[in-house]
Amino acid sequence: MLLKVEDPGFYRHNGVDVFTPGSGMTTLTQALVKRFYFEAFHQGLLPKLKQSLYAVGFNRVVSKPDQLRLYLGSVYMGTIDGREVHGFQDAGQTFFQHSCDQLTPDEYLAIIAMPVGPNTYSAKLHPVANRQRAARIRKFLAGACSPASVFDVYYKNCD
């Protein structure tokens, strides 16, 4: 489910994918590079180009399974009570009080809904927004809709 939502071309691309609808032109590889190699990341063409070049190099030396493990263990999932939540395991404990492997499909989907806007779609702080995004993702995964464009990362086309 995660890859279908966040990076459908993950196993095919070289670290960069600017064409897949719903991807927002950011791959899991680029997200890792942003997390590990940029203290502050500023929007704009030049920072995005630099991030993309790093992603291509990172993709050459870090296997896809390792990239996926790194992402699952480190993705930012918001701030709760002044503490940053990182990774799916931490998110499972923080938002649902059990480990990632004990999450129900709905709880896992709630976590998948968060990385695009961890505080906006927080399962704890904004449960209604989280449920609405998760419902759109569920429709997408069922094949009932598709992202309107590469930039439709919120799946607004699935309302």
Would you state the pLDDT for residue 44? 76
Would you state the pLDDT for residue 41? 65
C-alpha–C-alpha distance, residues 89 and 48, integer Å: 29
Are residues 72 and 87 in contact, defined by beta-carbon separation less than 8 angstroms?
A: yes
* Cα radius of gyration rounded to whole Å, the chain: 15
Would you state the pLDDT for residue 75? 96
Does the structure show a pLDDT above 70 at 55?
yes
Helix or strand holding residue 129 (H, E): helix 127-141
Nearest to 18 by CA among 151, 153, 147: 151
147 Rama class: left (phi>0) / alpha (psi -120 to 50) / beta: beta
Residue-wise pLDDT for 110-125, tens only, equals: 999 999 999 999 999 9
- C-beta neighbour count of 107 within 10 angstroms: 18
Question: Would the pTM of this model clear 0.85, i.e. be above it?
Answer: yes
41 Cβ neighbours under 8 A, 6+ residues apart: 34, 47, 51
Residue-wise pLDDT for 67-82, tens only, equals: 999 999 999 999 999 9
Would you state the pLDDT for residue 84? 96
Domains, the chain: 1-62 (no CATH), 75-159 (1.10.3810.10)
Residue of higher predicted confidence among 44 and 150: 150
